[in-house]
């Protein structure tokens, strides 16, 4: 479960950051057409949704076997787990909103304006993704928390 959780978490967060720093600037300056960008956004949506489901299942399994309600709410490790859940929900929402803004614009054969509209959501998603990796690293360390 740990490996599955970490692999999907890494792929998801990496995909979001790649779209933020690699794809959106290309779309904003208009050097890419809507069709190829649409394919990238659809792949991101697939990765995001699949990762969210895998992380829910694997994280739920790990939380169920490692924690009780009391340890989740009454310990620093438990608080980190709850923080991770909140960040996970935030990342899923931000990616859905940002990718919807992109896809809607690409359907109209527009590139620059949808990229500008989606940028704040992807910037926030990248920050949340980094936060997820930090929290995951803290949880993986037996001595830090």
Q: Do the domain assignments include residue 102? A: yes
Contacts of 119 (CB under 8 A, 6+ apart): 20, 24, 28
- Per-residue pLDDT tens digits for 35-94: 899 999 999 999 999 999 999 999 999 988 988 899 889 989 999 999 999 999 999 999
List the domain range (segments joined by +) for residue 105: 2-140
Q: Do the domain assignments include residue 25? A: yes
Distance CA(34)–CA(104), nearest Å, equals: 11
User: Tell me, what's the pLDDT at 145?
Assistant: 56
Domain total of the chain: 1
pTM assigned to the model: 0.91
């Amino acid at each position: 479960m740990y490996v599955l959780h970490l692999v999907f978490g890494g792929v998801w967060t990496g995909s979001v950051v790649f779209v933020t720093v690699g794809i959106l600037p290309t779309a904003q300056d208009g050097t890419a057409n809507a069709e190829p960008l649409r394919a990238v956004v659809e792949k991101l949506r697939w990765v995001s949704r699949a990762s969210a489901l895998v992380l829910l299942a694997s994280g739920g399994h790990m939380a169920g076997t490692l924690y009780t309600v009391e340890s989740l709410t009454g310990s620093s490790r438990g608080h980190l787990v709850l923080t991770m859940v909140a960040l996970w929900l935030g990342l899923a929402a931000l990616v859905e909103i940002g990718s919807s803004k992109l896809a809607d614009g690409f359907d109209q054969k527009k590139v620059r304006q949808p990229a500008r509209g989606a940028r704040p959501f992807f910037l926030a998603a990248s920050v949340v993704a980094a936060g997820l990796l930090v929290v995951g690293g803290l949880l993986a360390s037996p001595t830090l928390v």
